[in-house]
Amino acid sequence: MRHAFVWGIVALVLLPFLWMAYAAFLPPEIVYSGDLRSGIGFTWENIQKLAPEGFWGHLGFSLIASGAAALLQLATGLPAAYALWNGAPFWGLFLFTLAIPAELLLVPLYGVLLGLRLLDSPWALVLPFAASPFTIMLIYQGLRGLPFTLVEAARIDGAGEGRILFGVVAPLLTPNLIAAGVLAFAAHWNLVLFPRVVVGERFWTVQVWIADLARRYPADWGLLSAAALLSTLPLVLIYLVFERKIVETFEGSIKG
């Protein structure tokens, strides 16, 4: 009974993924017939059709933008978490920001970016996400698992704070940094409304682009699935590689 229940849920959760992978290679005849039972087939056509729609450009741009945001979050998050670990009194402040996602501030952020003359530039997608309380929290969780005597010993040996942070602490924290980086990347990758609002079509991320494609070709399962599959693949691959670490980091952050 419990096995059936669990695997039933797993099947339902996986269904959209399996469908995506299947439909991406579905020949147009089957798609146009509108009936899945009309046959089976395999084709690369859908993927080839993505290029003229501009898929690869948006995908590449998304990779760069999300990658930059994730790296910046690690670069600002590591020293911030280190400062918290040393007793800097900002914990409450970060917790407060944690409750409110950037997308809720869509309207005022638009105004601020307008004032800074950053609208419709790639910076509008990256700078607001250069620091994230969530990333800081995940790194801080990792730091709390390390013995603080490590830092004290390094201080007695005369190492500067920068040296301690990057030479001693960071290497021990690599797994947490990777997990935090992947989650930061995924969170940025999944923004839809924000990029749609602050930049024009030129700088649309792949998410916004797919949402638009779905409006233009609502019935072309093959084309849509090919785009969906290829835009999901980078994240799924990263996730599969680091899955254990990510789930553990997450569980750690829940236990607090």
**Interface of this chain with other proteins, residues 90 to 119, rule: CB under 8 A:** 90, 93, 95-97, 99-112, 114
Closer residue to other proteins, CB minimum distance, 38 or 174: 38
**What's the closest the beta carbon of residue 256 comes to other proteins, in angstroms?**
9
Show contacts with other proteins in window 118-157 (CB under 8 A): 127-128, 130-131, 133, 136
Task: Please choose, out of 5-13, 45-53, 151-159, 173-181, the segment that lies near other proteins by the rule CB under 8 A.
Answer: 5-13
User: Of 125, 165, 173, 180, which lies in the binding site for other proteins, with binding defined by CB under 8 A?
Assistant: 165
* Residue 40 per-residue DSSP state: -
Crossing angle for the helix pair 45-53 and 55-85, nearest 10 degrees?
A: 80
Report DSSP state, residue 41.
-
Can you list the alpha helix ranges (DSSP code H) found in the chain? 2-23, 28-33, 45-53, 55-85, 91-98, 106-115, 123-126, 133-144, 149-156, 161-163, 170-172, 174-189, 193-198, 206-216, 221-255
HSE value, Cβ hemisphere, 13 Å, CA-based, for 99: 4
**What single DSSP character describes residue 89?**
S
Which residues in the 51-80 window bind other proteins by CB under 8 A? 75-77, 79-80
Find tokens 């020949």 and name the residue.
27
**Could you say which of 86, 117, 152, 166 contacts other proteins (CB under 8 A)?**
86
Task: Single out the residue of 48, 53, 210, 216 in contact with other proteins (rule: CB under 8 A).
Answer: 210
- For residue 194, give the nearest of 118, 92, 97, 88 by alpha carbon: 118
Least separation in angstroms between residue 238's CB and other proteins is: 9
| Span interacting with other proteins, options 39-47, 87-95, 143-151, 152-160, rule CB under 8 A | 87-95
Least CB distance to other proteins at residue 193 (A):
5
